[in-house]
Amino acid sequence: MDVIKEIGHNEIVKITTPVMITRPYGKSRLCGDFRALDNYTKADRYPIPRIPHAPDKLAKAKYITKMDCMKGFHQNGVEPNSMKFFRIICHMGIHEYTRMPFGIENAPGHFQRMMDTIFQDEILEGWMVVYIDDIIKYSEKWEDQVQYIDIGLSKCTSINLKISLKKCNFGQQELLGLGHKV
């Protein structure tokens, strides 16, 4: 997944500078400081699910699976005519994002809308909760859980949605998800 590309040293970049965010386990994530750009964009008011409501839905579940979308926002491409707005300057030159960068105000709402659209049927059937890049499947029966995992993985594969297997938990009786033990 080509997330960023070099565009040269002579381009004009007025708005963004890179910011390195330190993550657990010594990893870092490159983000742009897009606050100035956010002032010029129309706010996306798509609702993000309220985390306190999710554990209520999971209360009767005996089996829970959590799947994590790998670098979620980066799975959305940036329109070619918009890439110039997502430029960053660093010691290696000027680069622009080809995928949705972290640090954009509208990124969470945009990604949540995409995920809700992809998994609309499963959410309405009442066995899945999606919180931005976390996909949680729950059931009372093991057979249902296996079927739900298969449906979820098949759908992700069919649309090329990449999952971070090392961050997934399959068929657990309890797990930490959305900041809660469920």
Most confident of 14-28, 39-53, 95-109: 95-109
- Torsions phi, psi of 21, nearest 5? -105, 125
What's the CATH number of domain 4-177, 3.30.70.270, 3.90.1150.10, 3.40.50.410, 2.40.50.140?
A: 3.30.70.270
DSSP-assigned beta bridge partners for residue 69 = 163
Predicted confidence at residue 182, as pLDDT, reads 58
Of residues 132 and 5, the one with the higher pLDDT is: 132
Average pLDDT over residues 83-92: 79
Rounded Cα–Cα distance for residues 122 and 69 (Å):
17
Predicted confidence at residue 54, as pLDDT, reads 63
Indicate whether 90 pLDDT > 60: yes
Mean pLDDT of the chain: 83
Token pair recorded at residue 30 = 């490159």
Predicted confidence at residue 160, as pLDDT, reads 93
pLDDT range class, residue 136, cuts 50, 70, 90:
very high
Yes or no: say if 33 and 103 are a contact pair by the CB < 8 Å rule: yes
Token pair recorded at residue 125 = 């059937």
Predicted confidence at residue 1, as pLDDT, reads 56
pLDDT range class, residue 101, cuts 50, 70, 90:
confident
Please give the full DSSP string across 118-137, using - where no structure is assigned.
HTHHHHHHTSEEEETTEEEE
Yes or no: say if 32 and 19 are a contact pair by the CB < 8 Å rule: yes
pLDDT range class, residue 118, cuts 50, 70, 90:
very high
Rounded Cα–Cα distance for residues 128 and 65 (Å):
9
